[in-house]
Amino acid sequence: MNRNFWLTLFVLACLVSCNQQKVENGYTLKPSDDLLRIELDSLTSNISSWLGYYYDAKLDSGLLYSVDPVRNEIERYSLQDGKLFDKMTYDREGPKGVGTLIEIGILGLDSVLIFPPFDNSFYQSRFSDAALNKVAYNKPDEYSPIRSMTNYFSSPAYTDGQYIYTRTLFGGNYMLMENEELSEKPLMYRVNVASGAVEFAHFTFPDDYWADGKTSYEFSTAVNGGQFAFSFYGDHNIYVASSFDEELRPIMAKSNYLPADFERLPEAGSREDRLRYFATTQHYGSLIYDGYRNVYYRFCYPKVDLNGSEDVRSLVQFPPAFSIMILDREFKVLGEKLIEKESQLAPGNVFVGPKGLYISINHPDHPDNLEDYFSFMLFELVEE
C-alpha cells in the first residue's frame, strides 16, 4: 500500500483544517448552558479511554473518535446527530491482529493510525474499505513506544509526512534515579516512516527538575507545526523549541491557583503514600493546542485536602477543582478559568471542536450525568 497516501492524510490532520483567530490579552472560558449528549449502547462506558475529534473544513463535517479496548474497536460519533456514526472492530491476534487498542492517531475522517502498546510497529487503517497496513520501526530499548498518551497528560503523536514525532518515557526504577541522570533523559523521538529508523530529539528534562527532591516525571506535549511545547507535572515553566534540533527554552507560565513551591514525593513512604501524593498534590496536567482559535490550554490541579472519606484513586479521574490556563502561541498567559462551580467534571475526557473546548460531565455525582450517554459541557473562548 502506498505510504504517501496515508502520510498526506496525517499531515493534513496535524496541520488542522480550520480558521485561526487572533487573540489578545483578557480571555476566559465561558460554560455554555446547553450540553452535548451522544447516545451510547448499554455496553459502552461513558468515560472513554481515548477520545479525539477531527473536523474537515472543506467538507464542513467532523466526527468524535473513541477507543474501546474491551471490545477492541474504534467508534465514531456524530456531534450533530448525537449518536454512533459507525465503528470498526479489530482482531487482537492473527494475520490481521493489531493487539489491544489503546491509542490511535486521526489521519482524516476515514483514516487512522493504530499504535499498539507492546509492538515495534504501527498500523494504517481505513474505515471505507477496512484496509490495514503494518509498518515496522526500530523502537529504542528502555523507552516507551509511540503509544505515549494518557488521559491526564495529553501528548498525541504528530507527523510532518516524513517523520512521526512521539513523546517517550524512560524505563527502569525512577526511585533509584537522581537529578543529574534524569536531566539527561530524552523526552521525544521521531520515527522515519520510510525506513523505521529512530532519532532522539535534543529535548531533555530540565536540569533542576529534581534538584530539591523528586516529583512526578510525567509531562504533556503539544506540537503545532514546527513548534514543540512541554508542560511538566511539577514545573511552572513551559519548555519550548522551534525545531526538533533545538534545545528547549523555558517560558514562565505560572497558574494563579498553584503555590510557588511544589510538594516533593515521599520517597521513604509506602506505595499508598505515593498514590496519595499523586492524587492530591498540586500539579500541572495536559497541555492542549486549540488550532481553531490559535491558543493553548494548560490544565492545573490545586492541592486536595483529604478528610479521610475520599477514594484516593477516584480523585485522579474526578478532581474536586481545577483550572485551565489560556496561552497564546508565544505562551503569554491570556487568562485562567477556575472550575469550582462546575467541578463535577471529568477533565480526562476532553476534546477541542470548532465551537470551543468540550469537557465531560460524566462524573458519578453530576446531576446531569446519564449512564448511556457521553455528555459534555462546552466552554467557549470569550473576551473578558
Query: Which domains are assigned to the chain?
Result: 3-383 (2.120.10.30)
pLDDT tens, 222-275?
999 889 999 999 999 999 999 999 999 999 999 999 999 999 999 988 988 988
Query: Is 96 within 8 Å of 84 (Cβ atoms)?
Result: no
pTM of the complete model: 0.91
Amino acid present at 144: S
In DSSP terms, 333 is beta-bridged to 327
**Tell me, what's the pLDDT at 18?**
44
Does the structure show a pLDDT above 90 at 3? Answer: no
Q: What percent of the chain has pLDDT over 90?
A: 74
pLDDT tens, 105-117?
998 899 999 999 8
**Tell me, what's the pLDDT at 148?**
66
**Tell me, what's the pLDDT at 316?**
83
Question: If DSSP codes are grouped into helix, strand and coil, which group holds residue 362?
Answer: coil
Residue 58 to residue 76: CA distance in whole angstroms: 19
Q: Cell triple for residue 292?
A: 481553531
Residue 31 to residue 78: CA distance in whole angstroms: 21
